[in-house]
Structure 1
């Protein structure tokens, strides 16, 4: 393998996903060097992300399309590094084309609702018969077994069911929906982990397998990382707002011109916090001299920090904490955060590029937040137009001649 290649160079992924959870998983696989062939439904305008406002147009960012080349920001972000082929999977003749793709692939990723792939005749059982080495990854709301009723899995529904909405805010507050679609983003991370593990196993055994990841299980497993029930049973409230009493001093506090976060649960960091506030004499105070004592008196300690910070600027507060070795940072807005030189230089955040109009100033997307010492990770290739690579894939990869491709188009397969 060329050292400039990604670690998945030579692997081919058939991408049956749409919206966010599935496309983010295949985006990660593309960034790792896999060839990702995105299969899109021509009768529905392809991936639903193609129809998410706003759009990058020749006149900049607009709420509506004005020309065929205009592309949604969502697709520009999620479609990078992929090839697009149109295929109407509801057409009986599409299965032959799909299975030809599978014969030339290592991985299939889909995020249909549970049971849809079986009804279409393209589920793991069918695909395994065509390519026993295939790793078939399913991302769904509740798992391959499905749930009674509709079982629609939107991010907000998953956040509601997982309990995560009740972990932020003050006691008594209404449920708080995370602004980041965390349910849609956590599941694909686990899906990629499972996919790569299954690929390694397939290389060792010659047998693929079904990788089944649920959005609900992924997010709930993270909620379970914190023993909220146990904490409540000993008196720690589930929702603690801007602070975390059991780790005092810990939380976010306001200054004259913004907010800052502090994380100082150890004796050393707590002593530094008191010293930064000019209260070094309280280091030996029984209320603050040990971790358990500080937790017991967390409300008092956090009140002292709030009172100290309130009349001061963020720069003054952070400078004092930094001088005393206390972990602290400003609370930044998203525009500032994505322009940080550290993350942009490491290509953890990268500019989004329209395939025709180029980069629109201020438009950024996620990179791969992994830096390899030898391999490369790349998402510089812009998202494809709908069906842009159909002829190339059918002719180049599958060996179909022009007559056959034309016939498939006429019949509504493509």
Structure 2
């Protein structure tokens, strides 16, 4: 751990579900000590109750044993320490203030205004530790949002416009299978948090970092000027192909699908050679990039007809030999078992804290490699409150009798 970039940094993790825990997971993988604070009255992080579960009986849809743990927690809880704390109890702030004194970062993903109502926002934390960086990930930012102001990934996808960037014209909105709203915001939160920590190191003053799920995802949507495309007659939704980059898209082979990207003249010539149609390179309809865009429908039909009856391996071999960017469209299960990503630990096996690799499960690693540091997720997820004695006792100095009394009062 000492060789990891964030070694020596301590994070108070007040997050639950996915957006917040993914941010703290990355910080943990980079070497920070992450103290996960969970509500003892509700069973802790909501993801602890997400099916499926892993235990002595293997992978199940229901919890059968006391040490069964949800796969969600097995993944998101790695390299973290768990303490229990009822933040609504009057005595909770005493314990939390102790953690604030010894921490560099505090992260939450409550709805806007919750931290202030609990009296544990940045103003309170900075009065205890001026250097602390407090990061909030919420649906709509500190100002709140429409209706209840509560946000789930699908709500954010709907509001961001991303659902109308996939699929074909006239088709229903397409919800991305990957929860991109929940996963993009924590990436920006980590970037903002680390920037604020660097600033605190230089000035001695921490600050509040405010990241909204809607803003993060909409910012990515804005990377492509979809409205400008429509004004120019280029459809925003184009299905399996992208006419403005033709030849470009996904196409069926006899035994699977492949992706093809050939927007440049060189790539297009390579495609034509692979198809055995070198003559198309001189055809006025396909000889230049603008011509290919203007005749994208015909060109993509030619590619589809050429590929339809051919085995995928034959197609990919031909395209690769002629320097055309192309790849098989994989199933997720195959993709996460790619020897390259496993060797680089960008994806890693998941282990149960007691039963080890009781199932063939894989989860996210830390997809960053350093030349002079280590990074990784190599410790199993903790049980609820597993580190109460170590953190409250060993780190903050509470006696066993004091901890027993706090537990009896419902504080921890």
The alignment's TM-score, normalised by the length of structure 2, stands at 0.99
Partner of 2:208: 210
Indicate which of 246, 253, 257 corresponds to 1:259. 257
Partner of 2:107: 109
Partner of 2:70: 72
Indicate which of 339, 346, 350 corresponds to 1:348. 346
The 8 Å contact of residues 97 and 128 in structure 2, kept in 1 or not, is answered as yes
Provide Cα deviations, 1:59-95, integer angstroms capped at 9, x if missing partner: 1100111111000000000000000000000000000
The 8 Å contact of residues 12 and 99 in structure 2, kept in 1 or not, is answered as yes
Provide Cα deviations, 1:340-360, integer angstroms capped at 9, x if missing partner: 000000000000000001013
The 8 Å contact of residues 53 and 68 in structure 2, kept in 1 or not, is answered as yes
The answer for unaligned runs of 5 or more in structure 2 is none
Matches within 5 A, 1:179-194: 179-194=177-192
Provide Cα deviations, 1:81-129, integer angstroms capped at 9, x if missing partner: 0000000000000001001100000000000011111111101111111
Alpha-carbon distance in structure 2 between the residues aligned to 1:114 and 1:359: 39
Indicate which of 21, 24, 27 corresponds to 1:23. 21
The 8 Å contact of residues 30 and 376 in structure 2, kept in 1 or not, is answered as yes
Alpha-carbon distance in structure 2 between the residues aligned to 1:353 and 1:104: 30
Alpha-carbon distance in structure 1 between the residues aligned to 2:209 and 2:358: 38
Alpha-carbon distance in structure 1 between the residues aligned to 2:302 and 2:64: 56
> Counterpart of 1:42 in 2: which secondary structure?
coil
> Counterpart of 2:24 in 1: which secondary structure?
helix
Matches within 5 A, 1:40-119: 40-119=38-117
2:36 aligned with 1:32: no
Partner of 2:388: 390
Post-superposition offset of 1:148: 4.5
Q: CA RMSD in A?
A: 0.8
Partner of 1:311: 309
Provide Cα deviations, 1:210-266, integer angstroms capped at 9, x if missing partner: 000000000000000000010110110010000000000100000110000001101
> Counterpart of 1:15 in 2: which secondary structure?
strand
Alpha-carbon distance in structure 2 between the residues aligned to 1:170 and 1:359: 42
The 8 Å contact of residues 58 and 359 in structure 2, kept in 1 or not, is answered as no
Post-superposition offset of 1:361: 3.4
The answer for unaligned runs of 5 or more in structure 1 is none
Alpha-carbon distance in structure 2 between the residues aligned to 1:264 and 1:279: 15
Post-superposition offset of 1:130: 0.8
Partner of 1:405: 403
Partner of 2:361: 363
Partner of 1:287: 285
Q: What is the number of residues matched between the two proteins?
A: 412
Post-superposition offset of 1:407: 1.5
